[in-house]
Amino acid sequence: MNQPNTDTFEGQKKVRKAELISPPNRLKEKVGHGGIDEAVLGKAQELLENNTVDFKPIALMLVDLLHEAISDAKSSTTTGEDAIEAMLYPAMQLKAQGGMFHYPLISEISNILVNFLETVTDTNKDVMDIVVAHKMSINAVIASQIKGDGGKVGRELRDALLDACARYYKSRKAQ
Amino acid sequence: MSYQFKNITVLVVESTRAMFDLTRSVLQAFGVNQVYSAYGADEGFETYCRVNPDLVIIDWLEDPANGLDLTRRIRTDPKSPNPFMPIVMMTGYSQKKRVLQARDSGITEFIVKPFTAKALYQKIEQLVERPRHFVNSENYFGPDRRRKREGDYKGPDRRSDEQPAVKAATAAVSLTSAVAKAKEIKARHDKANPDKKDEW
């Protein structure tokens, strides 16, 4: 005998169909319990900090990518979001990798550039001037092999770039 | 007893060899024996299908096929050996917009580069100890994008029924009703058992 369906009413229809699944925790099954020792974490951090990777060729390759993206944007080979994305990618990689390979100043400069590019919507002259200024600064850090935060020069460089971005936002607000 | 990371395999999909080597050295320091490498989304997916690791760490990667596309493929491609794969995205992007993009593509955890060994470990620990449920809906398949547990919130209670004065008032009302109810029952008991009044 058919049982009456007590789960639904006549005419009732689900609007959103979403299923919640609890997959097996394969990682937990394999690694077990207990975490890891602070000493292991310390050793891992030491390995990160004492790496001997020569970042210069990687940085130059990324700066070349940025340079190409700038040229394409200036010549309108790429426009709008595509142009911005093309400049963002190498800037983001410079930010990501600089700090990992003893060039934190490159990370900081690139971070300013990434934050700036994330807020612009077109590639007008003012925007491009600021991007070029960042690229030149990164080039200068690589050429001078400024490892660490760059001291007074590093601070001045960062302040100048932040100031350029601030002036851009101020001028946009005034328009 | 500590985590037996030697029992797991990890695939790291990176944009450069140097970044892969660095990530591998940290994972090996944790105890992971087998760390596979891939560069780019297509090679990443091919390697992932071949080795079926226990954990995938993905860089944002360069367009046209980036880390988000790779994540979507791992989640939804019929060839994917494990659509529930834990995926950590490790990237230089930190803006909220990017985090949301990555989350909506189906990543499990997000780490900003430059990263520390502790940050990477903490994300792996989250995967082990607090795995996310998966949501399967018409337009999304991936880890539950809400991570919220009762008791996580440490701020002030703003909901009216959680505010102290309201709580106290609610408790007082409940107590008044309970006392009234008890008196009513006692009266009924006394009436039915006039000789056993003292039992209350």
> Which residues are paired to B56 by β-bridges?
B11, B87
pLDDT tens over chain B, length 200 residues: 899 999 999 999 999 999 999 999 999 999 999 999 999 999 999 999 999 999 999 999 988 899 999 999 999 999 999 999 999 999 999 999 999 999 999 999 999 999 999 999 999 999 999 999 999 998 899 999 886 554 555 665 555 444 444 444 444 444 455 555 556 656 766 777 776 655 44
User: Tens of pLDDT along A147-171?
Assistant: 989 999 999 999 999 999 999 999 9
How high is the ipTM of this complex?
A: 0.87
CA distance B59 to A63: 19
Give the residue with greater pLDDT, A39 vs B188.
Answer: A39
Q: Which amino acid is at B72?
A: R
Query: Helices B117-129 and B17-30 sit at what angle, rounded to 10 degrees?
Result: 60
Nearest CB partner across the interface for A47, out of B15, B26, B121: B26
The verdict on a CB contact (< 8 Å) between B92 and A40 is no
Please state, rounded to an integer, the average pLDDT across all residues of chain A: 92
- Tell me what pLDDT residue B174 has: 47
Interface test with B, best of A16, A17, A30, A103 (most B CBs within 10 A): A30
A102 Cα distance to chain centroid: 17
- Tell me what pLDDT residue B170 has: 43
CA distance B185 to B190: 9
Contacts of B95 in chain A (CB under 8 A): 114-115, 118
- A172: tokens are 């946009």
> Which residues are paired to B34 by β-bridges?
B9
Question: ∠ at Cα B79 (B75, B83), nearest 5°?
Answer: 25
- Tell me what pLDDT residue A172 has: 87
User: Tens of pLDDT along A62-115?
Assistant: 999 999 999 999 999 999 999 999 999 999 999 999 999 999 999 999 999 999
Give the residue with greater pLDDT, A140 vs B177.
Answer: A140
B12 Cα distance to chain centroid: 20
Q: Please give the interface size between A and B, counted as residue pairs whose CB atoms are below 8 Å apart.
A: 146
- Tell me what pLDDT residue B163 has: 47
Interface test with A, best of B7, B16, B68, B126 (most A CBs within 10 A): B16
Rounded to a whole number of angstroms, the distance from the CA of A151 to the nearest CA of chain B is 20
Q: What is the 3-state secondary structure (H, E, C) of A21-38?
A: ECCCCHHHHHHCCCCCCH
- Tell me what pLDDT residue B173 has: 44
Nearest CB partner across the interface for B29, out of A28, A43, A101: A43
Q: Which amino acid is at A87?
A: M
CB crowding B79-110: b at 16 or more within 10 Å, else e: ebebbbbbbbbbbbbbeeebbebbbebbbbbb
Interface test with A, best of B22, B52, B111 (most A CBs within 10 A): B22
DSSP string for residues in B86-124: -EEEEES--SHHHHHHHHHHT-SEEEESS--HHHHHHHH
CA distance A91 to A158: 15
The verdict on a CB contact (< 8 Å) between A33 and B125 is no
CA distance B189 to B200: 9
Rounded to a whole number of angstroms, the distance from the CA of B107 to the nearest CA of chain A is 15
Contacts of A53 in chain B (CB under 8 A): 18, 21-22
The verdict on a CB contact (< 8 Å) between B3 and A31 is yes
Q: What is the mean pLDDT of residues A112-137?
A: 96
Q: What is the mean pLDDT of residues A48-64?
A: 96
Contact A126, A168 (CB under 8 A): yes
A89 → chain B, closest CA residue = B62
Contacts of A44 in chain B (CB under 8 A): 25-26, 29-30, 117, 121
Rounded to a whole number of angstroms, the distance from the CA of A10 to the nearest CA of chain B is 24
- Nearest C-alpha neighbor of B164 from the set B175, B176, B156, B152: B156
Would you call A16 exposed, middle or buried from its count of C-beta atoms within 10 A (0-12, 13-18, 19+)?
exposed
